[in-house]
Each structure stands twice: as C-alpha cells, then as structure tokens.
Structure 1
Amino acid sequence: MRYYIISGERSGDMHAANLIKAIHKSDPAAQFRGMAGDYCQAAGMDLTTHYEEVAMMGFLEVVFGFRKVIKNLRLLQRDLLAFNPDVLILVDFGGFNMKMAAFAKKKGIPVHYYIPPKVWAWNQSRVYKIRAFTDKVYCILPFEEPFFKKFSIDATYVGNPLMDEIQNFQPHPFFHQKNELSYKPIIALLPGSRKQEVENMLLVMLDVVAMFPNAQFVVAGVSNIDQELYKPAEQKGIKVVFNQTYDLLHHAIAAVVTSGTATLETALFRVPQVVVYKTSYLSYLIGKRLVKIKYISLVNLIADREVVKELIQDAFNAKSII
C-alpha cells in the first residue's frame, strides 16, 4: 500500500515514525511519502518537505507566516495527487491538516486522522469538519473517544504512543561522561522544540539558575532548529544536550518545561515539574478568548486537576518558577 503522511512538529514526527515502523512489520512493501521530519525520514519515508518549513506557534505568528504556509499547502496538495496514495494519514497539526483533509476528501482519497485536533479545548464547531472530512479517527487521550462518538465520528482510543516510547527507552550508560556533566543533582530545562518557543522561554528559564548553586542546570536542545538560539545558555556556562531529552529526564530531579508533549513525557519519567508558556501578547489575548479548558498541560488535562504548577504569560517569571 501507499501511505501519504503529514506531520507538522517534532512530537508528531516521532509518533508518525513509530507508526511507519509498525506498518512495515505487516506490510514490508509499504511506501511512505509526505511532510514530516528526521524521525520519519530515518524510518523510511520520502520527504516532500520538512515540517520546519511550516512550524509556527501563536495566532499572530501564523498570520505573518501565512504565505509560506499556503505555498507548502499547495505543494503538498499537488504531490498528494501525483503520489496517489491508498490513504492519507494526518498526524496532529490541526489547522494545516484539516485543510489537507478537506482537499483529499474532495479528491476521493480516504482520510485517517491519528492524534486529532483538540477541538474539545476550543472552537468545538470544528468537530463537524472532522466528521465531514475524515473516515477514521485514532485518539491518544482517554476522554477523546466518547467526545468524538457523541458527534457520530468513527473514533477509537488507541492509547498514548509516549507509553511505548518511554517503555522502549534505554538510558545511555555514560550520559554524564558523554556530555561532560558533573554529578551534582540535575534540573532540566525544556524550552520547547520550535524556534519561537526557545526564543520566548529560554532566557527566563536561565534567570533561575543562580538561585540553585547546589544543582546543575541542563538544557534539552533539539538539532533541527538554529543552534545559535542556545547561545545564551552556553554563555552562562549551562550545558545544552541535543536530542537526549529522555536521558536528561532519566537523571533529572526536577524540570521547567514548556507546555506541550514534553509535560507528559516529564510526568511519565516521574520528574517534578513546573509547566510554563508564553507567546506574543496579541496571540495570548486571542487564545484566552477562544480556549475553553482549565489547564494547558497534558498532565493536568488528563488528571482533570492541578497535578503540576502552570505559569502562563506574565506569571511565567523567574520568581514564580523559583
């Protein structure tokens, strides 16, 4: 079979890569093409474009990057038709992927959505578009299946792929030596995997360091964004370890984590954390009006109570983190 996959960020790329590996076990001749990242490429997918071409955060940032997004949307639409897959598999990345779902449905291509948009959080009217444009939905949060079934959507809760990812993780036996770390207790700083996230989060996180002289702070870096973004940490003598987040969490005694998939990963490693998030002021105001949930971290959303502290926008400052 021929599979066209579209994922728009690092966590989705990781989950899509594991999906590719699983499909290959039952269908060794399967062909994969689409938009994703390094994980999917390593798993055998032919990339039309890298997700970094369209990765953005915040309402305002998306507006300013609109032409770039449209350019890549049209590129993928043309490529989808040329590849003529048996199925289009969309992974998270709701705004972009829903446009691809509508296009594919119109062209008669079956649409399966793995990790659907969080329509239960804001703008629930979008659920009708999911019903109209998808053939099957695979949920990774337990409360999503009954939510979608209320709207007559063929949805199945398949468990969270992070559980498999972490269960299969093998810690590096020489993590400290490899990264020239001391054996002081480690506090992990996870500023995110997108350019705008690191720009918005890292400097404030670094302001906390001086208050904990008996610990060593280590930044979880990702190699698919400009490494100059991590210069402020290096200038303060703070180690940045690239693409070793699970090893870092395995050793950490605490963490400051940008809201996203990493909050759940940190919790599954049983590391106490403070969850933080900041975007442009206008994006924040728009989001505050639209978002209809009590919490922003996956940990608190799943538990439906405040398990971890959340510091959003102006509350995200060094004093509050400390």
Structure 2
Amino acid sequence: MKYYIIAGETSGDLHGANLIKALKERDPEATFDIVGGSQMEAASGQKALIHTSEMAFMGFVEVVMNLSKIAKNLKAVKADILRAQPDTVILIDFPGFNLKIADFAKKKNIKTCYYISPKIWAWNQKRVYKIKQVVDHMFCILPFEVKFYKEFHYSVDYVGNPLLDAISAYEFNPNFISDNNLSEKEDIIALLPGSRKMEIERILPEMAELYHKFPSHQVVVAGAPNFDESYYRDIIGDLPIKIVFDQTYDLLKNSVAAVVTSGTATLETAILRVPQVVVYKANPITIAIARKLIKVQFISLVNLINNYLSVYELIQKDCNATRIADEIGELITNPAHRASVMENYDVLAEKLGEPGASGRTAEKIVTYLQEATN
C-alpha cells in the first residue's frame, strides 16, 4: 500500500514515526510520502515535503499573521498528493490544516484516515459534521472521545494513547547526568517551554527565573529539535542554565519537578510520574477569543482525561515567575501535596490503559484498506 502521512507539529511527528514503523511491520510492501519532522523522516527513509518547523502556528492571531504561508503549504501538499496517488492519506491531529486536506482527498476519491482526533470537543463542536463527511476512519487516543463522537452518531476506533508506546520503547540513558555535565548533588527542575516559537518566547523568560528562586537546584531546559542553543540563549540571557536537546524523557526521569507548557508534554510528564505545574501564555487577543469559544474546564490533558484538577494550571497573567515558583516549591517541599499529585497520576494511568496504540492503529488501517480493495 502507498501511504501519505501528514503531521504538522513535533508531537505529531513522534506519533507519525511510530505509526510508520508499525505499518511497515504489517505491510511489508508499504511506501510512504510524508509531511512531518525528523522522526518521520528517519522512520520512513523519506525527506518530508514540508518540515513541521514550517507548519506549526498556534493561536488565532498567529494563524492570521501566517495565512499566506499556510495557503502555500496547502497548495504544495495537495499537488503532491495528486502526484503520489496514495491508497490512503493519514492525517495526524493538526485540524486547521488536515481537515482541509481530508476534504480535498475525499473529493479525489482517496481514502482518509485520521489518527489522533482534533480536539473538537473543546471548541467548534460543529466540525464533527464535516469530519463525518470527509474522514473515512477516525482513530481516537483519549477515552472520552468515543462517547463524544457517539453523541453525533459517528463510530470511531479507540486505540489507546501512543505516548505509552513512545515511553515504553524509549531507552533511557543511565549516564544522562554525567553526559550533560550536570551535578550529581543537586536536584533538577525541568523546564519544558514547548516547541512553538511564540510559546517559547512568552513562557521561557518566566520559567528561567526559577534559577534565582531555587539556587540549590539545577534548572534545565528541554530544547525543541527545530531550534538551536543560540536561540534559547538569546531568550534566557546570561543565566547559566543548561539546555539539552532530544533528551526530554531522560531529563524528566531525572527531575524532581517540572514546569510544562500546556500540550502533549503534560501527559508525557504525568506518564513518567514527575510532579508538574502546567503553564500557558499567548497573545492576549488569542486568549480572549479562546475563552469565549472553548467549552472545557481545563487546558492540560492530564486534567481533561481525569476530569478534575489533578495538576495546577497557570494561564496568562498567572503564568509568572512568582506563581510558578510557589507551585514548584509546594511540589518539592510539601509531601502531602506531592503525594496527592502522584495519586492523580495513578488514576490517569488506569484510564490510559496499556501501550500498543501504534500497532492497533496500523492493524486497523491495513485491514480497512484491504477490505476496501477486495
């Protein structure tokens, strides 16, 4: 089978890479065309038509500012799909872009599979009607999504969460501390400022102030692969904060607590059982619009899945160095608070279930395609 897989951001690149590996196991004749990042390139052996670093724009204002670039990317991907003539287009999250591609592919009679549902349950729920029209098979990774779609009479496949696959397959580095010239004597506070430029530049300066507020700890930044060290140094200035790249899981595994920008990383941090505070800060206009449209109580996946406040969230004006330091201090020094977070992680683990999402999704995609051709 010929697969055309599209991921528009770093987390989608990770899941796309694992899906490619699983498809290869189940379909030895598989060939791939990709829009994604370095991990999908490595898994498929193909260069991405467009790299994720040229795709991810987060927020209403930010999207408007980049409309011409988004339109150019859409045009390029549509043309490439016509060239490739795949058996299916597999879309990974990234709904603003991927739902347009799904519509295009459907009109060209190309099967569409959507892996990792758009978060339409959070806002703009009417998009479910569009999904029913243009997506042949939806594969969901959050337990409550099945019920949501059922309310709209749309049958989906629940496959479990692919982060469990990524973490269970990861080979942790026992020499992480020494390899990165970190101190064996000081506990680490991990800073995960996100992978998007607009997030990092708003949030990292607040995070970096923990260097002054916790002088007996090491503050270490998890760098995104689409940026280099000089980019982060320009933001944090002269502070002697370590930055590590492509080692986020190792960093978390060796940390006593973490400050995490809202997104997939909050769930990764929870699965790795690191107490965290979730933060987010964006353009004020973006936030104002979001607060009018978004229909969920929380922003972090941990809280959304558990359906109660399991980890603290500091958003917009609350996302400041003082509030962040207060919560990190509680996580480090208050045993009862720390234990409460860990109990919440136990609840989360039970809801997420077992690894195997990538394999289950690949199996279903191959089966669906074979049934369609028979």
TM surpasses 0.5: yes
Residue identity opposite 1:215 in structure 2? H
> Contact (CA 8 Å) 2:229, 2:243: kept in 1 or not?
no
Is it true that 1:71 corresponds to 2:72 in the alignment?
A: yes
Aligned to 2:12: 12
Matches within 5 A, 1:19-38: 19-38=19-38
Q: 1:272 aligns with which of 271, 275, 300?
A: 275
Query: In structure 2, how many angstroms separate the alpha carbons of the residues matched to 1:288 and 1:114?
Result: 27
Name which of structure 1's ranges 81-90 and 170-179 shifts more when overlaid on structure 2. Answer: 170-179
Aligned to 1:92: 93
Residue identity opposite 1:261 in structure 2? T
Query: In structure 1, how many angstroms separate the alpha carbons of the residues matched to 2:3 and 2:192?
Result: 33
Aligned to 2:252: 249
Q: 1:297 aligns with which of 296, 300, 308?
A: 300
Higher relative contact order (CA 8 A, sep 6+): 2
Query: In structure 2, how many angstroms separate the alpha carbons of the residues matched to 1:314 and 1:234?
Result: 22
How far residue 29 of structure 1 moved from its aligned partner, in angstroms, is 1.9
How far residue 227 of structure 1 moved from its aligned partner, in angstroms, is 3.6
Aligned to 2:192: 190
Query: In structure 2, how many angstroms separate the alpha carbons of the residues matched to 1:143 and 1:234?
Result: 43
Name which of structure 1's ranges 161-170 and 123-132 shifts more when overlaid on structure 2. Answer: 161-170
Aligned to 2:169: 168
Change (3 A) 1:75 1:159: same
Query: In structure 1, how many angstroms separate the alpha carbons of the residues matched to 2:300 and 2:8?
Result: 20
Residue identity opposite 2:240 in structure 1? G
Higher strand content, 1 or 2:
1
Superposition CA RMSD, Å: 1.1
Q: How many residues align?
A: 322
> Contact (CA 8 Å) 1:187, 1:216: kept in 2 or not?
yes
How far residue 116 of structure 1 moved from its aligned partner, in angstroms, is 1.2
Aligned to 2:227: 225
SS in 2 for 1:105: helix
Query: In structure 2, how many angstroms separate the alpha carbons of the residues matched to 1:25 and 1:182?
Result: 42
Query: In structure 1, how many angstroms separate the alpha carbons of the residues matched to 2:34 and 2:107?
Result: 18
How far residue 279 of structure 1 moved from its aligned partner, in angstroms, is 0.5
> Contact (CA 8 Å) 2:34, 2:40: kept in 1 or not?
no
SS in 2 for 1:88: strand
Aligned to 2:52: 51
Aligned to 2:132: 131
Identity across matched positions, percent? 52
How far residue 89 of structure 1 moved from its aligned partner, in angstroms, is 0.3
1:152-179 deviation digits (Å, cap 9, x = unpaired): 2230110000111111222102111110
SS in 2 for 1:294: coil
Is it true that 1:110 corresponds to 2:98 in the alignment?
A: no
How far residue 45 of structure 1 moved from its aligned partner, in angstroms, is 4.9
Query: In structure 2, how many angstroms separate the alpha carbons of the residues matched to 1:283 and 1:240?
Result: 29
Change (3 A) 1:97 1:45: farther
Query: In structure 2, how many angstroms separate the alpha carbons of the residues matched to 1:149 and 1:230?
Result: 44
Give the alignment's TM-score, normalised by structure 2. Answer: 0.84
Query: In structure 2, how many angstroms separate the alpha carbons of the residues matched to 1:98 and 1:151?
Result: 18
How far residue 107 of structure 1 moved from its aligned partner, in angstroms, is 0.8
For structure 1, the 5+ residue unaligned runs are none
Residue identity opposite 1:23 in structure 2? L
SS in 2 for 1:49: coil
1:5-27 deviation digits (Å, cap 9, x = unpaired): 11000000000100000010111
For structure 2, the 5+ residue unaligned runs are 326-374
